[in-house]
Structure 1
Amino acid sequence: MIPARYAATRFPGKLMQDLNGKPVIVRTYEVTVRTGLFDDVLVVTDSDIIYSEIVKNGGKAVMSKKEHECGSDRIAEAVENMDVDIVVNVQGDEPFTDAESLSKVIEVFKDDREKEIDLASLMTEIRDWDEINDPNIVKVIVDNRDFALYFSRSPIPYPRAEDVGARYFKHKGIYAFRKNAIMDFYHLPMLPLEASEKIEAIRYLEYGKKIKMVETRTEGVEIDTPEDLERAKKIWK
């Protein structure tokens, strides 16, 4: 599922911006289909414009019936009555999402015989202190089995002691959920930690869900600003 909201805060209408001949959301949809990893790929949107564009280009889309706070809620509404086991959330503003990264988050469920994992997501190591301190970049810390302990816009861990081997990871917003986990998320209210940080993954932790993090070295390009779009055009060429 690719949640697609037209009215993005920082760059309104970004998903319909032209990326070398096609809108960003169409590029993302086509790249996701081409991975060959999924039984079905659908864009779920509140926008007639986005819906029409996907269908016009031969894709599949569903309309959200409700206003939603986040992409997970939008997906949950769409899959509530679908017969699915694993639902993958691909970000609509990441047209360079690659098959290897998506495959990694799906693979964790194949060995999870005890069904210990509620959802899986991606992280990539960051070393630049500007990125580590940037509140627009969500950081994650994990335990010794790579289960998420916490997500924050602040630097975590705080560098109180230097040269202790601490690594810093950026959370990439690709998730793979068991259906029951995303439905629980949909029906459970937001708690104070999520409300404070404005990070939806925290809700899962606050309600005791287990998030398996998978490290990837693929950086990708998120289109959050007009400058990001220009960079994406150059990469696409």
Structure 2
Amino acid sequence: MAFSVLIPARMASSRLPDKPLADIAGLPMVVRVAQQALRSKANRVVVAADDERIVQACKHHDIEVILTRSDHPSGSDRLAEACSLLGLDDGAIVVNVQGDEPLIDPSAIDAAATLLQQRSDCSMSTLAHPLDNIEDFQNPNVVKVVLDAQSTALYFSRAPISWWRDGFADGITQLPQPHPLRHVGLYAYRVGFLRAFPKMSQAPIEITESLEQLRAIWHGHRIAVHVTTTSPGPGVDTPEDLDRVRAIFERKS
């Protein structure tokens, strides 16, 4: 199976300025992410940067990188430009690995790519895992997903879904059964869909939930979901997250 990994990396971050270059055990975070992706079965790993400083950091550590425009409204737009710059065919598969996931599991990358290759009926694939605590079930920053019988996404939400009939009577004191699923923000796309996606109109449900993947469902595209048994390593959104990840690398060294 042939597929590429694209890692969008942008310097502007309101919660953690210059995030791609944040030092993690002696290496910039974006380099750590690329090194993890290179352990997957991808035939190519490319960072799509919006700043020359990211480009130079990647080149210094022998990571393939391209410079994209700095005015893209979303990561999907940046990836679409990257596909054009790299000359990828519409039928090619690319996996979007976020540039703030230095602990991404390489096998998760492979799983997303393999699933999309198997599901010709789907334009995208992604990952999920069972939730095991009430706090995450209630947390709007933890996105939930419900599936159909073919493990295709029916809906993504920040709300606690799926919800049992009598849940409102008792409040959230326990998790419903079977366990609800947490969405993991790693995606595989066919390049033709990725080029078309930024041109699609925003969906009302996308605006309400602030979840870009709902645009695909609203426009009739299907998203295949691979359910893993374990949760992913922590990503980096805040200085506290960065401290947590640095501590994990220190324990591993």
**2:16, 2:88 → 1: CA distance?**
35
**1:193, 1:5 → 2: CA distance?**
26
**1:178, 1:196 → 2: CA distance?**
26
- In the other structure, the counterpart of 1:146 is 151
- In the other structure, the counterpart of 2:97 is 90
After TM superposition, the structure 1 = structure 2 runs for residues 65-144 of structure 1, keeping only pairs within 5 Å, are 65=69, 67-80=71-84, 82-84=87-89, 85-112=92-119, 115-144=120-149
TM-score between the two structures when normalised by the length of structure 1: 0.92
How big is the shift at 1:18? 0.8
The 10-residue stretch of structure 1 (218-227 or 19-28) with the greater mean CA deviation from structure 2: 218-227
**1:123, 1:208 → 2: CA distance?**
21
The counterpart of 2:223, out of the listed 204, 211, 214, is 211
How big is the shift at 1:86? 0.2
Q: Secondary structure at the match of 1:108?
A: helix
**Gapped regions of structure 2 (runs ≥ 5):** 1-5, 168-174
TM-score between the two structures when normalised by the length of structure 2: 0.87
Q: Secondary structure at the match of 1:213?
A: strand
How big is the shift at 1:15? 1.9
**Gapped regions of structure 1 (runs ≥ 5):** none
- Aligned-CA RMSD value: 1.7
Contact 1:157 1:166 in 2 (8 A): no
How big is the shift at 1:66? 5.0
**1:110, 1:192 → 2: CA distance?**
30
Q: Secondary structure at the match of 2:30?
A: helix
- In the other structure, the counterpart of 1:43 is 47
User: Cα 1:16–1:150, aligned 2, differ >3 Å: closer, same or farther?
Assistant: same
Q: Which amino acid aligns with 2:186?
A: I
- In the other structure, the counterpart of 2:30 is 25
How big is the shift at 1:152? 1.1
**2:50, 2:216 → 1: CA distance?**
24
Deviations 1:78-100 (A, max 9, x none): 10352341011001111111121
The 10-residue stretch of structure 1 (48-57 or 62-71) with the greater mean CA deviation from structure 2: 62-71
How big is the shift at 1:164? 6.2
Aligned residue pair count: 234
